[in-house]
Amino acid sequence: MMNEREWRDFNAGLSDEVDSWLRGDTSRRTFLTRLMLMGGAAMLPGLGFTAAGSKAWAQAVDVSKVELADPSTPLGEAQAAAVKASSEGPKEGSAYRAVQAAQAYKAKNITLNLTYEAGLQALEPKNFSGPLWQTLTGINFNVVELPHPDQYSKPIAEHIADSGAYDVLDIEPAWIPALANGGVILPIDDYVTKYMNKADLDDYHPLYKSITLYKGKRWGVFDDGDQFALYYRKDVFEDEKLKSAYQAKFGKPFGLPKTWDEYSQVAQFITDQLAPNVYGAAHFRKFGSPGNQFSFLQQFRANGGKFFDADMKAQLTTDAGVTTLDQMIAQNKASIPGNNDLDAVAQWAAWLQGKVAMIFSWPPTGRISSNYAQRDKAINFIPQSSIADKVGYAVLPGGNGEMASGYVRALAAGSNNEEAAYLFMQWVSAPPLSLVRTMLPYTLRDPYRLSTYKSEQYRALWPAAKDYLINLCECSNNAVVDMIMPGWQDYALSIDRMCTAVWGGEDPKSALQKASAEWDSTTQRLGVAAQKAAYQEFLQIPGSYADHTIEKVGQAVHIT
Amino acid sequence: MVQLAPADILPPPGAGRSSRLVSAFADRYFKWLMIAPAAILILALSIYPLLFSLWVNFVNYDFQIPGHDFVGLQNFLQVIQDPLASSALVLTILLSLTVVAIEFVLGLALALAMVRTFRGRGIVMSLLVMPLFISPVIVGQSWALFLQRPFGPADYLLGQLVGHPVNISWVGEVPWVYIAIVIADVWQWTPFMFVILLAGLAAIPQHLYEAAELDGIGGLQTFVHITLPQLAPIITLALTFRLLDAVKLFDIIFMLTGGGPGTATYTASFYLYQIGFQQFHLSIATAGSWIFLILLSVVIMVLVRRLLRVEAA
Q: How far is B48 from chain A (nearest CA, A)?
A: 15
Binary contact (B64, A486; C-beta < 8 A): yes
Query: Mean per-residue pLDDT for B150-160?
Result: 90
Q: How far is A235 from chain B (nearest CA, A)?
A: 24
Q: Is A22 left (phi over 0), alpha (psi -120 to 50) or beta?
A: alpha
Give counts: helices (H), strands (E), chain A: 26, 14
Instruction: Report the residue from B145, B274, B280 with minimal CB separation from A22.
Output: B145
Instruction: Report the residue from A350, A493, A500 with minimal CB separation from B261.
Output: A500
Per domain, the residue ranges of chain A are 4-43, 61-226+405-463
Residue B120's CB is within 10 A of a number of other CB atoms, namely 8
Q: How far is B161 from chain A (nearest CA, A)?
A: 19
Residue A327's CB is within 10 A of a number of other CB atoms, namely 23
Instruction: Give, as one character, the DSSP assignment of residue B291.
Output: H
Q: How far is A26 from chain B (nearest CA, A)?
A: 11
Report the pLDDT value the prediction gives residue B1, as an integer from 0 to 100: 47
Q: Which of B171, B156, B246, B233 is nearest to B199 (CA)?
A: B233
The residues near A239 (Cβ < 8 Å, ≥ 6 apart) are none
Chain A residue numbers with beta carbons less than 8 Å from the beta carbon of B167 are: 337-338
Report the pLDDT value the prediction gives residue A548, as an integer from 0 to 100: 97
Contact A472, A486 (CB under 8 A): no
Report the pLDDT value the prediction gives residue A26, as an integer from 0 to 100: 39
In B, minimum Cα distance to A525 occurs at B65
Binary contact (B169, A340; C-beta < 8 A): yes
Chain A residue numbers with beta carbons less than 8 Å from the beta carbon of B257 are: 287
In B, minimum Cα distance to A346 occurs at B151
Instruction: Report the residue from B151, B172, B257 with minimal CB separation from A24.
Output: B151
Report the pLDDT value the prediction gives residue B117, as an integer from 0 to 100: 87
Residue A238 to residue A243: CA distance in whole angstroms? 7
Binary contact (A526, B64; C-beta < 8 A): yes
Q: Does B261 touch chain A (CB under 8 A)?
A: yes
In A, minimum Cα distance to B171 occurs at A341
φ, ψ of residue A281 in degrees (nearest 5) = -160, 170
Binary contact (B261, A490; C-beta < 8 A): no
Q: How far is B19 from chain A (nearest CA, A)?
A: 47
ipTM above 0.90, yes or no: no
Contact A447, A428 (CB under 8 A): no
Query: Mean per-residue pLDDT for B292-300?
Result: 87
Mutate to test the interface with A, among B74, B174, B178, B280 (most CBs of A within 10 A): B280
Contact A414, A163 (CB under 8 A): yes
Binary contact (A287, B260; C-beta < 8 A): yes
Q: What is the pLDDT along chain A (560 residues), one digit of tens a residue?
A: 455 555 555 454 444 443 443 333 434 334 334 433 333 333 333 333 333 333 444 445 677 778 889 999 999 999 999 999 999 989 999 999 999 999 999 989 999 999 999 988 999 999 999 999 999 999 999 999 999 889 998 999 899 889 999 999 999 999 999 999 999 999 999 999 999 999 999 999 999 998 999 999 999 999 999 999 999 999 999 999 999 999 999 999 999 999 999 999 999 999 999 999 999 999 999 988 899 999 999 999 999 999 999 999 999 999 999 999 999 999 999 999 999 999 998 999 999 999 999 999 999 999 999 999 988 888 877 889 999 999 999 999 999 999 999 999 999 999 999 999 999 999 999 999 999 999 999 999 999 999 999 999 999 999 999 999 999 999 999 999 999 999 999 999 999 999 999 999 999 999 999 999 999 999 998 999 999 999 999 999 999 999 999 999 999 999 99
> What are the tens digits of pLDDT across the range A157-178?
899 889 999 999 999 999 999 9
> What are the tens digits of pLDDT across the range B56-85?
999 998 887 878 899 999 999 999 999 999
Q: How far is A210 from chain B (nearest CA, A)?
A: 23
> What are the tens digits of pLDDT across the range B212-255?
999 988 889 999 999 999 999 999 999 989 998 999 999 999 99
Q: How far is A220 from chain B (nearest CA, A)?
A: 19
Chain A residue numbers with beta carbons less than 8 Å from the beta carbon of B259 are: 287, 497
Residue A482 to residue A446: CA distance in whole angstroms? 17
Contact A374, A368 (CB under 8 A): yes
Chain A residue numbers with beta carbons less than 8 Å from the beta carbon of B172 are: 286-287, 340-341, 500, 503-504
Q: Does B148 touch chain A (CB under 8 A)?
A: yes
AA letter at A429: S
Q: How confident is the model at residue B311 (pLDDT cuts 50, 70, 90)?
A: low
Report the pLDDT value the prediction gives residue A39, as an integer from 0 to 100: 36
Binary contact (B260, A501; C-beta < 8 A): yes
Binary contact (A338, B149; C-beta < 8 A): yes
Binary contact (A506, B257; C-beta < 8 A): no
Contact A425, A168 (CB under 8 A): yes
Instruction: Report the residue from A19, A337, A506 with minimal CB separation from B150.
Output: A337
Chain A residue numbers with beta carbons less than 8 Å from the beta carbon of B64 are: 178, 181-182, 486-487, 526
Chain B residue numbers with beta carbons less than 8 Å from the beta carbon of A493 are: 274, 278-279
Instruction: Report the residue from B142, B264, B278 with minimal CB separation from A149.
Output: B278
Per domain, the residue ranges of chain B are 75-312
Binary contact (A497, B262; C-beta < 8 A): yes
Mutate to test the interface with B, among A286, A499, A518 (most CBs of B within 10 A): A286
Contact A97, A90 (CB under 8 A): no
Torsion sign over Cα A351, A354, A356, A360: positive
Torsion sign over Cα B305, B311, B312, B313: positive
Mutate to test the interface with A, among B149, B157, B266, B271 (most CBs of A within 10 A): B149
Chain B residue numbers with beta carbons less than 8 Å from the beta carbon of A149 are: 278
Q: How far is A271 from chain B (nearest CA, A)?
A: 16
| Chain A residues near any Cβ of chain B (below 8 Å) | 19, 22-25, 149, 153, 156-157, 160, 178, 181-182, 286-288, 336-338, 340-342, 346, 349-350, 486-487, 489-490, 493, 496-498, 500-506, 511, 514, 525-527
AA letter at A324: T
Instruction: Report the residue from B64, B167, B261 with minimal CB separation from A287.
Output: B261
In B, minimum Cα distance to A350 occurs at B150
Contact A23, A346 (CB under 8 A): yes
- Which CATH number describes the domain made up of A61-226+405-463? 3.40.190.10
Residue A96 to residue A84: CA distance in whole angstroms? 9
Residue A521: helix, strand or coil by DSSP? helix
- How big is the A-B interface in CB pairs under 8 Å? 109
Instruction: Report the residue from B64, B148, B262 with minimal CB separation from A506.
Output: B262
Report the pLDDT value the prediction gives residue A242, as an integer from 0 to 100: 97
Residue B167 to residue B155: CA distance in whole angstroms? 6
In A, minimum Cα distance to B143 occurs at A22
Bridge partners of residue A358, in order along the sequence: A232, A281
> What are the tens digits of pLDDT across the range B80-136?
999 999 999 999 999 999 999 999 999 999 999 999 889 999 999 999 999 999 999
Torsion sign over Cα A346, A347, A350, A352: negative
- Which CATH number describes the domain made up of B75-312? 1.10.3720.10
Binary contact (A511, B262; C-beta < 8 A): yes
Q: How confident is the model at residue B313 (pLDDT cuts 50, 70, 90)?
A: low
